[in-house]
Amino acid sequence: FTPSAEIISNIETLMQHSKIDVGGIEYIIDDRDGEVLYYDVNALSNFVADAVNVIGFNPHEKLVDFLEQQAESVSTKEETFSI
């Protein structure tokens, strides 16, 4: 399943305005009228016991990749200031 471009955009906007770099937002779509309801903003969902098979990738690997990028960015900025 791939969310619509509108849902992705709404979630990205919510994350940016909330200043959240890493996390997840859960939502449901009301079958009665198609309204999208965003109901849970968190860094980790404990409802997914087998995330790799449910979402199709290892979220921990992606988190580590992100943290490594952030650490490298900070390290590079610190080196620039010390020159």
Domain extents for the chain? Answer: 1-47, 50-83
How far apart are alpha carbons 26 and 39 in whole angstroms?
Answer: 6
Question: In this predicted model, what pLDDT tens digit does every residue of 23-33 receive, in sequence order?
Answer: 889 999 999 99
- Lookup: tokens for 10: 């709404």
DSSP codes joined into one string, 12-72: HHHHHHTT-SS-EEEEEE-TTT--EEEEEEES--TT-TTHHHHHSS-HHHHHHHHHHHHHH
Compare 17 and 1 and report the one with higher pLDDT.
Answer: 17
| pLDDT computed for residue 8 by the predictor | 96
Average pLDDT over residues 42-61: 75
Contact criterion met (CB below 8 Å) for 55 and 48: yes
Predicted structure pTM score: 0.57
Compare 22 and 43 and report the one with higher pLDDT.
Answer: 22
